[in-house]
Amino acid sequence: MLITGGAGFIGSRLAIALAARHRVHVFDNFAAQAHPAPATTRIALARAGVRVITGDMRDPAALGAAMADTRPDVILHLAAETGTGQSFSQPAHYVQVNVLGTAHLAEVVRRHAPGLPRLVLASTRAVYGEGACIDESGRRAQAVPRRSDDLALGRFGLQGRDGQPLAAVPTDADWPVAPASIYAATKLMQEHLLRQAFWGSATQVGILRLQNVYGPGQSLDNPYTGVLSIFCRQILEGRNLAIFEDGQITRDFVMIDDVVRAFVMMAETPVMPQQTLDIGSGQGITLLDVARRLLLCLGASRDRLRVTGAYRPGDIRHAVADISRATAQLGWTPRVPLDAGLMALARWSGRQLRHPAARASA
């Protein structure tokens, strides 16, 4: 098996889990922003018997050599730039890594691994933009993107085309896509590229749209990704948490162990689901509530936060997955309750920040 981005937060855990039963290769360029301690990750992967190929998705020769060398039966494509906010200031870079990198992957598979049975993409719920909503009479409706002048006036709620207030409901893959950031647009393009490139071929393409993944191993140093890791660091450094908008932004936090299990099932199941699947906890929680729970886990006062009213372009208001298709087609359901996952994250973060020399991204 070959895992692109297999040195990252999700990829490294996935590689280690799969290495117990398979020959696993990782292709990763150890992008500096995601890897404050690359040596620690390399050691953890090597100990698990994972072979690491250092290379860049933007370099088709390196990717082709890795493909010819490893001849994988399954590719799990996780390599990506992942910062929503950062993507607005670096659109060309995000397109090069996420879109061009995926196009290179499709080309080298055709050239060096024709007949590859299975390719799985780590996509994101960000492709939905605001996602599924209902109006006051319970009818399904699409929210329009929130406008900066509304947000500046503290009007954070969702509205339909005619200005009617909307409420978010769990989103599934039948809901129309409407990416609201450059990052989301590049992830959607990854989906389209892989579906088109392997349409009608022997290669089956599986797509998992992940909600907010969290847990031990998520970088405490990368300011562009992983809100709960960022909160952990701020709490442990004695800072107060700044909660955006009115604190009522909702996210669906899914624990890393559950996400790794979903990818393992996609890699190993005899018949892989062909339809796009949503992977989340299926439960929404406000950022205010989750911040308070994290403060509790870390033994800090629940008052150490401030709801700022600040907002960021591209942030969507509510995200909750409808995971019924993943359950029906893959047999997957999340197992880790949020409080248990938060406690695991809090303990791990505490250890990392007390012993920075042992800082591990794996």
Ligand X SMILES: NC(=O)c1ccc[n+]([C@@H]2O[C@H](COP(=O)([O-])OP(=O)(O)OC[C@H]3O[C@@H](n4cnc5c(N)ncnc54)[C@H](O)[C@@H]3O)[C@@H](O)[C@H]2O)c1
Tokens of 2: 């070959």
Residue 151 or 183 with smaller CB distance to ligand X = 183
| CA dihedral sign, ordered 296, 244, 86, 145 | positive
> DSSP readout, 157-196?
SEE-TTS-EEEE--B-TTSPP---SHHHHHHHHHHHHHHH
**Minimum distance, C-beta of residue 248 to ligand X, in the bound complex (Å):** 20
Residue number of the CB closest to ligand X reads 8
- Residues making contact with ligand X (CB under 6 A): 5, 7-11, 28-31, 34-35, 56-58, 78-82, 97, 101, 122, 124, 187, 210, 212-213
How many residues does the structure list for the chain? 362
Residue 122 or 338 with smaller CB distance to ligand X = 122
Cα 44 to the center of its chain, rounded Å = 21
**Minimum distance, C-beta of residue 150 to ligand X, in the bound complex (Å):** 27
Tokens of 202: 């022997």
Residue 51 or 304 with smaller CB distance to ligand X = 51
Note the helical H segments in the chain. 9-19, 38-47, 60-70, 84-89, 91-94, 101-112, 148-152, 182-197, 227-236, 256-268, 287-297, 324-325, 338-354
**Minimum distance, C-beta of residue 200 to ligand X, in the bound complex (Å):** 25
Residue 86 or 159 with smaller CB distance to ligand X = 86
Closest alpha carbon to 119 in 332, 327, 328, 263: 263
Closest alpha carbon to 168 in 159, 155, 179: 159
**Minimum distance, C-beta of residue 262 to ligand X, in the bound complex (Å):** 11
Closest alpha carbon to 80 in 95, 68, 64: 95
Is 183 one of the catalytic residues?
Answer: yes
Residue 28 or 130 with smaller CB distance to ligand X = 28
Of 183, 214, 224, 311, the catalytic one is 183
Give the residue numbers marked as catalytic: 183
